[in-house]
């Protein structure tokens, strides 16, 4: 995929002169290619996927063919050989059309691929990364019924066996679980040690004792499946330990920091898509003999939405560039998720208002953007958790303020 080879010599993550929204030629090619894919391949099925709560057959394979299921996977093992920023551009572009499709690419890349690149053994990388690049979905299994914002209050347990480990417990709110070929699972191997007993494991789909439960009937991002995942004396070999014993909490924290930038990109794309529909509709809808876009009130509404989106884009791109450059980005990631999720909800709401009564019915796209936007303030760290992170980071390093 040539458009992923952006600035291979100079480093595509370098922040260029001018706006943070300035992209290299290769990054623009990537962005335009994914936008065209979203418009031609995804858009015709958005309503059907929302109503049926599942992706159309073959969609994941088409995403993989475009290189989007293993963006940072090295090209020598079948991946696209791109950057984290490339993944962010792809998630943003897909989410303009459907946030559910943006989400499956986001989780695959910002959570799972990133985790493998940093903590996977050479054997694990060699075995799983090519499969992920080919379209095998990896599902991130951390949350539980009693373990949401308090992510380390896990009740799922792991015990050592003669040949490896046994996992027992239940996970909730697990995205892409029915489609997954692999689960990255967090369980406590030493409950007496508290969060320091949390350990990560690789559990392939089809492992005896692993069951995917009921699919949640969600408000938004309905095409992306969200399910309970049950582990009943689920035995895995020793080489399915991911990272070190007792270091799962570190993996979870650090991967979610990157994932928050991904959710920012998803919400940014959603807001951009909502704005485009609102602007187009305002120029077509006539009242009092002229398009409603000619009225100052509507113009101001669209201008405010566009300003919010530009500010959101600057935050997303800045956080992603910092990550690629190896600069600290925890504060920026938390700020990004907090602010951009607010922008998405606000812009989607304003989009409904521009559509008026038509914005409240499913014949038009506005109501879906509105439903999809709400989750941005909830998953991968609620808005309150982001504010806690921001405050903690700033108060321990006042120079940042």
pLDDT in tens, 120-147: 999 999 999 999 999 999 999 999 999 8
User: How far apart (Å, rounded) are the C-alpha atoms in residues 332 and 330?
Assistant: 5
pLDDT band at 310 (very low <50, low <70, confident <90, very high): very high
Q: Minimal CA–CA distance to 179: which of 226, 216, 218, 143?
A: 226
**Mean of the pLDDT values across residues 88-116?**
98
Domains parsed from the chain with CATH numbers? 2-137 (1.10.540.10), 139-246 (2.40.110.10), 249-400 (1.20.140.10)
The confidence score (pLDDT) of residue 14 equals 43
Mean pLDDT value of segment 7-36: 72
- Our measurement of the distance from residue 98's CA atom to the centroid of its chain's CA atoms, rounded to an integer in Å, reads 12
Q: Which two tokens stand for residue 96?
A: 């303009």
The pLDDT assigned to 91 comes to 98
235-247 per-position pLDDT tens digit: 999 999 999 999 9
174 C-beta neighbours (distance < 10 Å), count:
25
Nearest alpha carbon to residue 235 among 158, 141, 172, 154: 158
**pLDDT tops 50 at residue 232:** yes
pLDDT of residue 32: 98
DSSP percent split of the chain into helix, strand, coil, nearest 5: 55, 15, 30
Query: What would the mean pLDDT of 367-386 be, rounded to a whole number?
Result: 97
Residue 11 confidence (pLDDT): 42
pLDDT at position 152 is: 79
Is 390 exposed, middle or buried, given 0-12, 13-18 or 19+ CB atoms closer than 10 A?
A: buried
Asked whether the predicted pLDDT for residue 257 surpasses 50, the reply is yes
β-sheet bridge partners, residue 215: 227
Active-site residue, selected from the candidate residues 72, 144, 179, 380: 380
pLDDT for residue 19 is more than 70: no
The residue to which tokens 């009092």 are assigned: 288
Residue 391's pLDDT is: 95
Instruction: Decide if 68 contacts 128 (C-beta within 8 A).
Output: no
d(CA 211, CA 208): 8
The rounded distance, in Å, linking the Cα atoms of 374 and 346 is 10
Confidence at residue 151, expressed as pLDDT on a 0 to 100 scale? 75
Q: Report pLDDT for 149.
A: 85
Is 70 exceeded by the pLDDT of residue 17? Answer: no
16 pLDDT higher than 70: no
Contacts of 308 (CB under 8 A, 6+ apart): 271, 343, 346, 347
Q: Is 206 exposed, middle or buried (0-12, 13-18, 19+ CB in 10 A)?
A: exposed
Residue 1 pLDDT? 45
Buried b (16+ CB within 10 A) or exposed e, 344-367: bbbbbbbbbebbeeebeeeebbbb
Question: Would you state the structure tokens that stand for residue 270, as one six-digit string?
Answer: 């959603």
Specify the long-range contacts of residues 117-121, CB closer than 8 Å, at least 24 apart: 117/72, 117/73, 118/254, 119/200, 119/242, 119/243, 119/251, 120/242, 121/239
Q: How does strand 210-215 pair with strand 157-160?
A: unpaired
Q: Closest Cα to residue 282, out of 203, 364, 200? A: 364
pLDDT in tens, 355-376: 999 999 999 999 999 999 999 9
Q: What is the pTM of this model?
A: 0.94
Give the mean pLDDT of the chain. 94
Contacts by 313-317, CB closer than 8 A, 24 or more apart: 313/20, 313/21, 313/268, 314/19, 314/20, 314/21, 315/264, 315/339, 315/340, 316/88, 316/92, 316/261, 316/264, 316/265, 316/268, 316/340, 317/20, 317/21, 317/85, 317/88
Active site residue 380: yes
∠ CA 324-381-316, nearest 5°, is: 35
In tens, the pLDDT along 171-216 reads 999 999 999 999 999 999 999 999 999 999 999 999 999 999 999 9
| C-alpha closest to that of 110 among 309, 388, 311, 329 | 329
pLDDT for residue 15 is more than 80 = no
């Amino acid at each position: 995929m040539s458009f992923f080879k952006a600035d291979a010599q100079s480093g595509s993550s370098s922040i260029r002169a001018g706006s943070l929204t300035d992209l290299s030629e290769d990054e623009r090619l990537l962005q335009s290619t994914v936008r065209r894919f979203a418009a031609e391949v995804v858009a015709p099925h958005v309503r059907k996927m929302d109503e049926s709560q599942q992706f159309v057959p073959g969609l994941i394979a088409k995403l993989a063919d475009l290189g989007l299921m293993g963006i940072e996977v090295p090209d020598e093992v079948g991946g696209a050989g791109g950057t984290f920023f490339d993944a962010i551009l792809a998630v943003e572009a897909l989410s303009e059309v459907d946030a559910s499709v943006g989400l499956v690419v986001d989780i695959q890349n910002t959570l799972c691929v990133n985790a493998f690149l940093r903590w996977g053994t050479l054997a694990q990388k060699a075995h799983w990364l090519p499969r992920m690049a080919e379209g095998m979905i990896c599902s991130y299994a951390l949350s539980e019924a009693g373990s949401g914002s308090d992510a380390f209050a896990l009740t799922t347990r792991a015990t050592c066996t003669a040949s490896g480990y046994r996992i027992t417990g239940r996970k909730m709110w697990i995205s892409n679980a029915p489609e997954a070929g692999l689960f990255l699972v967090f369980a406590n191997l030493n409950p007496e040690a508290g969060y320091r007993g949390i350990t990560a494991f690789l559990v392939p789909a089809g492992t005896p004792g692993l069951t995917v439960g009921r699919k949640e009937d969600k408000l938004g991002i309905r095409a992306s499946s969200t399910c309970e995942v049950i582990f009943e004396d689920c035995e895995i070999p020793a080489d399915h330990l991911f990272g070190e014993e007792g270091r799962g909490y570190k993996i979870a924290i650090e991967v979610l920091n990157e994932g928050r930038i991904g959710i920012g990109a998803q919400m940014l794309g959603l807001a951009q898509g909502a704005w485009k529909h609102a602007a187009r509709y305002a120029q077509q809808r006539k009242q009092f003999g002229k398009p409603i876009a000619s009225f100052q009130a509507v113009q101001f509404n669209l201008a405010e939405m566009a300003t919010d989106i530009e500010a959101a884009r600057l935050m997303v791109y800045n956080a992603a560039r910092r990550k690629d450059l190896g600069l600290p980005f925890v504060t920026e990631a938390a700020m990004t998720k907090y602010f951009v999720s607010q922008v998405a909800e606000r812009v989607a709401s304003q989009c409904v208002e521009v559509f008026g009564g038509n914005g409240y019915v499913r014949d038009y796209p506005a109501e879906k953007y509105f439903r999809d936007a709400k989750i941005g303030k909830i998953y991968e760290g609620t808005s309150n958790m982001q504010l806690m992170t921001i405050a903690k980071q700033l108060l321990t390093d006042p120079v940042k303020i």
